[in-house]
């Protein structure tokens, strides 16, 4: 339900791009909740994925998941990025 794309950068720190469309969640409250969850998860893992530009695309159905499920999904993606970077 999440698609994470990444590319190395030369800035020395990682950057985050978010795409949460109306197709994913009709209400702005739901879209903002997802953005806050993704940003918080990114902040917690930012030091491990330094020098990457990361784009997170929310897919349809993600808004129906609870916060813990979204965090678990994101943790899996961050772990994959850390392994790929090594």
CA proximity to 71, closest of 43, 49, 51: 43
Predicted confidence band of residue 86 (pLDDT cuts 50, 70, 90): low
User: Per-residue pLDDT tens for 11-40?
Assistant: 888 999 999 999 999 999 999 999 999 999
- Give the pLDDT of residue 85: 73
The pair of three-digit structure tokens given for residue 59, joined into one six-digit string: 């897919």
- Confidence class of residue 1 from pLDDT cuts 50, 70 and 90? confident
Q: What domains are defined for the chain?
A: 2-85 (3.30.230.10)
pTM: 0.91
Share of the chain above pLDDT 90, in %: 77
pLDDT of residue 70: 93
> What is the Cβ-side half-sphere exposure of residue 76, based on CA atoms within 13 angstroms?
8
């Amino acid at each position: 339900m999440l698609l994470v794309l990444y590319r190395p950068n030369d800035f020395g720190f990682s950057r985050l791009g978010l795409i949460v469309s109306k197709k994913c969640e009709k209400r702005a409250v739901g879209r903002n909740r997802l953005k806050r969850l993704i940003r918080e998860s990114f902040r917690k893992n930012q030091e491990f994925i330094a020098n990457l530009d990361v784009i997170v695309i929310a897919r349809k159905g993600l808004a129906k998941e609870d916060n813990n499920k979204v965090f678990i999904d994101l943790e899996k993606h961050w772990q994959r990025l850390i392994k790929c970077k090594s």
